[in-house]
Amino acid sequence: MQTEGLSKAKDSAGRIAIESAPALRKLLAEYYLDLHEAQKDPKRKIAWVSSVGPVELLRAYGFEVYFPENHGALLGATRNSARYIPKAVAQGYSPDICSYLTADIGAHLSGKSPLQDAYGIEGVPRPDVLVYSTNQCRDVGDWWAYYAREYKVPLLGIHPPHLLDEIEDRHLQMVHGEHERVSQELKKISGRSLDQGHLKEIVELSRQASILWREILNLASNRPSPHTFFDAVIHMAPIVVLRGKQETIDYYNLLKAEMTARVEKKVGAVPKERLRIYWEGMPIWGALRELSTLFFDLNTAVVASTYCNTWAFDKLDPANIDESMARVYTELFINRTDSIKMDILRKLVDDFSIDGVVFHDCKTCPNNSNCRYGMPDRLLDEYGIANVTIGADVSDLRLYSPDQVRTTLEGFIEQLSES
């Protein structure tokens, strides 16, 4: 990577290319191809897990790990969700529930997957066990239950307390108990005992990767920002699907070096950066490119989000595995009260010199739409933080109106420019 001169390659919109991107594509290809090989090897077992489930535990038991939510995001990013959602609706699933869920189940019913075209494999790997945590929402439990019936494999659920203010010892003890119960079942399914030393090594790898990911995200506090939210949602893939692996650390060291070089040379992701935006809520996967271009053309950098910060599990502690795993998988932003969320948002607005907040009211994800109970007005009234709300969806583009969103965002940026 050219950290001296930095990349001068640009896309059709004039954005500077990220040099680390080919390494990311190679890393993800190796991950999916290995999963494909694993399902053909009777000695290797595959676990499906929710994106903020205790993946370290699964890896310590020797499972290869697959993330259906990541597949749901791929369906959205490839703009295929609307093709498959009706298949799930025809099976009795409401069109108002998580579009990751309905798109994924619809794709399964159709025998289709973006992985087939991207990597030349048959599709998603067959599970030996399904593990979920409702620390984000209940939908994952119903989603995983569908596949437990389809594949006739064990279903293991973790059910932490919800909407927490302060995290208390009793909350952590409860979640640790849930982890222990799941661990005992994994022992039976894997046919091996838990090696605490191996688990400690995996937790340490997750911690190091999380620290690097947090550092990369925090580099966006510089002006101009070396990357944007639209870059981060792509480059967060390793911390989601390869948490607990050395490869993730290696990749984030590469990406951090590139972003640090950009900061030192004042190379901005938006070269004429005038305004800085905080994105609150889920990405609109099928509209990432057009939204990135819109903000770029408005000389506005979307520099921070709660979404990307979710996977920075830097409080993991190999010297205190039980408590730290319980804590990081319980104290997620999505699982906190509005008062805690307000405090977190206010701090991030200050830390990243934010001019305004864009709330994404995600039609099929009420759990991660924080604009429905007065928070935008309270942010403005109590802290003077300007904001706007756009309606769309994480995956279903039928719920996204490009013209309406463009008009709303252009008006908001104009308002911020005049204030």
223-257 pLDDT, tens digit per residue, is 999 999 999 999 999 999 999 999 999 999 999 99
Q: Please give the tally of structural domains in the chain.
A: 1
Least confident among 14-18, 24-28, 86-90, 103-107: 14-18
Full-model pTM: 0.96
Residue 102 belongs to domain spanning? 37-191
CA distance 237 to 217: 14
pLDDT exceeds cutoff 80 at 14 = no
Three-state secondary structure along 155-180?
Answer: EEEECCCCCECCCCHHHHHHHHHHHH
pLDDT exceeds cutoff 90 at 97 = yes
Residue 275 lies in a domain: no
What pLDDT sits at residue 3?
Answer: 46
pLDDT exceeds cutoff 90 at 8 = no
Residue 65 lies in a domain: yes
For 264-312, give the DSSP string. HTT--SSTT--EEEEEES---GGGHHHHHHHHHHTTEEEEEEHHHHTT-
Sorting pLDDT into bands at 50, 70 and 90, what band is 2? Answer: very low
CA distance 313 to 135: 14
Residue 105 lies in a domain: yes
Q: What is the CATH number of the domain that holds 102?
A: 3.40.50.11890
Residue 400 lies in a domain: no
- Whether the bond into 224 is cis, omega within 30 of 0: yes
Residue 172 lies in a domain: yes
Q: Specify whether the CB–CB gap between 329 and 160 falls below 8 A.
A: yes
% of residues, the chain, pLDDT over 90: 96
E strand or H helix that includes residue 20: none
Residue 3 lies in a domain: no
SS3 13: coil
Q: What average pLDDT does the segment 29-52 reach?
A: 97
Sorting pLDDT into bands at 50, 70 and 90, what band is 12? Answer: low
252-272 pLDDT, tens digit per residue, is 999 999 999 999 999 999 999
Sorting pLDDT into bands at 50, 70 and 90, what band is 13? Answer: low
Residue 29 lies in a domain: no
The pair of structure tokens assigned to 62 is 């020797």
- Alpha carbon distances (Å) from 201 to 30, 192, 207, 226: 22, 17, 10, 32
285-301 pLDDT, tens digit per residue, is 999 999 999 999 999 99
The pair of structure tokens assigned to 159 is 């059910």
125-176 pLDDT, tens digit per residue, is 999 999 999 999 999 999 999 999 999 999 999 999 999 999 999 999 999 9
